[in-house]
Amino acid sequence: MTHNKIFLIAVLASVFSLTASAQVKFSAKITNKPTDTIYVKSRGFSQMIIAYKKGNFNSTFNVTDGMFKLEVDEQYADLYLTNTSDIQVALDYKDFDNTIKFKGKGANENTFLAAETLKQADQTAFEPMMKAENLEALNAEVAKYKESIFAAMPQGLDAGFVAKYKADVENGMKGLVQYLAAGLELKKLNGTVSPSFKYENHKGGFTSLEDLKGKYVYIDVWATWCGPCRQEIPFLQKTEEAYHGKNIEFVSISVDVMKDKEKWNKFVTDKNLGGIQLLADKDWKSDFVQGYKINGIPRFILISPEGKIVNADAPRPSSPELVTLLDSLVK
């Protein structure tokens, strides 16, 4: 074998060895951890890591460079990983977002993600977008928001991370603009005559919007299978109690399909739901639901005693804004 051939084989063997051994090296030390299993996940990928001793985790695995989630029971953190990452994570489960720290190769990128998570928990940064009165103003506020985020990125971050992070922000903002633009369209309904309804009442018979004329009507469009809807129920019950005897009716309209009518009946009874409990006649295709352009629940609506729309996308029961709104109207 010639010297050149030996050299070529050695180079190829070295490259193959480096490629084969290139893996994420991941370790975590988690205090106050309820269980002994954590996961690193992304779309189409899931790596389970079992503690080798209480609160200590260690693993190596292959990934495609990109964004991941570190899932620790009901908590999670964003991660950026490549096959050259060598990450050590430390956190206290009971104060997850505030205590998570990173060391090792890739720490800078993940420290930045952790800091952004804390910033986004403070919704004040989104307020100018939420308060935009038209689409032009909304787009201008979104552009300012993106510019501020990108300007805050530290120098020296991995180029692949920067590209993926910016792409994620762009996609996230597109979704937010679509959502807020839909809200702007809903605002055009305010002040107009409300679509009507006449739906089956859990207590028997049927109830229509006309039956409630002369009172404010706060409507909750929901379903028994909807998690966010169910989370609002305790707040709605407290609101009903606070305004009991005042000039307002609380109506819940379920979009459960008719074949699940007994499930709806049982849920209302078992949970002792108050107010006026109605079942829409054609679930999502019901005229009232279509009239309000509802494609996601829960949706809350406030109607005036005259039957006009006060707010086609009213504050949720869990929002302090609802109390402010109702106190200004209901006597």
CATH (domain of 39)? 2.60.40
Mean pLDDT for the stretch of residues 262-278: 96
The reply to whether 136 and 38 lie within a common domain is: no
pLDDT of amino acid 35: 83
Query: Considering the domain boundaries, does residue 79 fall inside one?
Result: yes
pTM of the model: 0.61
pLDDT of amino acid 74: 84
The reply to whether 70 and 170 lie within a common domain is: no
pLDDT of amino acid 317: 96
Please tell me the total count of domains within the chain. Answer: 3
The reply to whether 222 and 315 lie within a common domain is: yes
Which of 77, 107, 137 is the last residue in one of the domains?
A: 107
63-109 pLDDT tens trace: 999 999 999 998 999 999 999 999 999 999 999 999 999 999 999 99
pLDDT of amino acid 21: 54
The reply to whether 203 and 313 lie within a common domain is: yes
Q: What percent of the chain has pLDDT over 70?
A: 93
Tokens of 243: 């305004």
Lowest mean pLDDT among 45-49, 129-133, 282-286, 323-327: 129-133
Query: Considering the domain boundaries, does residue 113 fall inside one?
Result: no
Query: Considering the domain boundaries, does residue 60 fall inside one?
Result: yes
What is the distance, to the nearest Å, from the Cα of residue 70 to the centroid of all Cα atoms in its chain?
17
Query: Considering the domain boundaries, does residue 2 fall inside one?
Result: no
The reply to whether 27 and 144 lie within a common domain is: no
The stretches of 154-197 forming alpha helices (DSSP H) are 159-187
* Contact in structure between 218 and 250 (CB atoms under 8 Å): yes
Which of 62, 79, 107 is the last residue in one of the domains?
A: 107
Query: Does position 200 have pLDDT exceeding 90, yes or no?
Result: yes
Q: Which domain range does residue 127 map to?
A: 123-187
B/e letters for 161-186, b = 16+ CB within 10 Å, e = fewer, are: beebbeeeeeeebeebbeebeeeeeb
pLDDT of amino acid 331: 83
Which of 46, 73, 107 is the last residue in one of the domains?
A: 107
Query: Considering the domain boundaries, does residue 118 fall inside one?
Result: no
The reply to whether 59 and 169 lie within a common domain is: no
The reply to whether 249 and 215 lie within a common domain is: yes
CA distances from 241 to 171, 224, 272 (A): 42, 22, 13
Tokens of 18: 């480096």
Lowest mean pLDDT among 28-37, 177-186, 250-259, 262-271: 177-186
The reply to whether 173 and 292 lie within a common domain is: no
The reply to whether 205 and 325 lie within a common domain is: yes
pLDDT of amino acid 262: 96
What would you report as the CA-atom Rg of the chain, rounded to the nearest whole angstrom?
27
The reply to whether 133 and 84 lie within a common domain is: no
The reply to whether 225 and 178 lie within a common domain is: no
Query: Considering the domain boundaries, does residue 116 fall inside one?
Result: no
153-172 pLDDT tens trace: 999 999 999 999 999 999 99
The reply to whether 153 and 61 lie within a common domain is: no
Task: Round the average pLDDT of the chain to a whole number and report it.
Answer: 91
Query: Considering the domain boundaries, does residue 310 fall inside one?
Result: yes
Query: Does position 9 have pLDDT exceeding 50, yes or no?
Result: no
Query: Considering the domain boundaries, does residue 12 fall inside one?
Result: no
* Contact in structure between 220 and 316 (CB atoms under 8 Å): no
* Contact in structure between 24 and 87 (CB atoms under 8 Å): yes
pLDDT confidence band for 121 (50 / 70 / 90): confident
